[in-house]
Amino acid sequence: MESKHQHVRPITLESASVAEMSTAERLKHASEGLFYVQSTHETRHTMRSEIDALSARQAETISEHAKEIAKHFGIYKQRERNESGKKDGDFIFMVRVKNPAGGELTPAQWLALDAAADRYAGSHAHSGPQLKYLPVIVRSDG
């Protein structure tokens, strides 16, 4: 009597072809460990070069390929909403920080996050006169 369930080999980076991998694993493979951004099959550049171009105001935002790589580091590309709610404003980045210590921050950790927000966060259009903000959302890993 044959089993209804055939033995399926696990798909791993070592044993599977690229075509068998998940989208995330194909991205990691193509970017050689999330280091390179591949625009086409022939061209690639470093993730750092996109960040440098953004910092030097040579680019409005990072590419779609770089956006997917950035997600693996907890950085999410977004757009500001206008008054009607349409996403057509400036590009912004949300950074997700994980606190594995049960959700409690020491005063020093809070001050470090606050200093990072002061240094790197932009102002929020709806927060009043050029206020920087550090929204905190509590989630559980469950």
pLDDT tens digits, one per residue of 13-45:
677 787 887 877 777 777 887 788 876 666 788
Average pLDDT, the chain: 77
pLDDT tens sequence across 109-137: 888 888 888 787 765 544 444 555 666 66
Share of the chain above pLDDT 70, in %: 75
Q: Which two tokens stand for residue 105?
A: 């921050």
pTM confidence score: 0.64
Whether the CB-CB separation of 72 and 66 falls below 8 Å is answered with no
Q: Beta-carbon neighbour count of residue 86 at 10 Å? A: 9
* pLDDT at residue 2, as a whole number: 55
Residue 79, phi then psi, degrees to nearest 5: -125, 145
Exposed e or buried b for every residue in 108-127, given b needs 16+ CB within 10 A?
Answer: eeeeeeeeeeeeebeeeeee
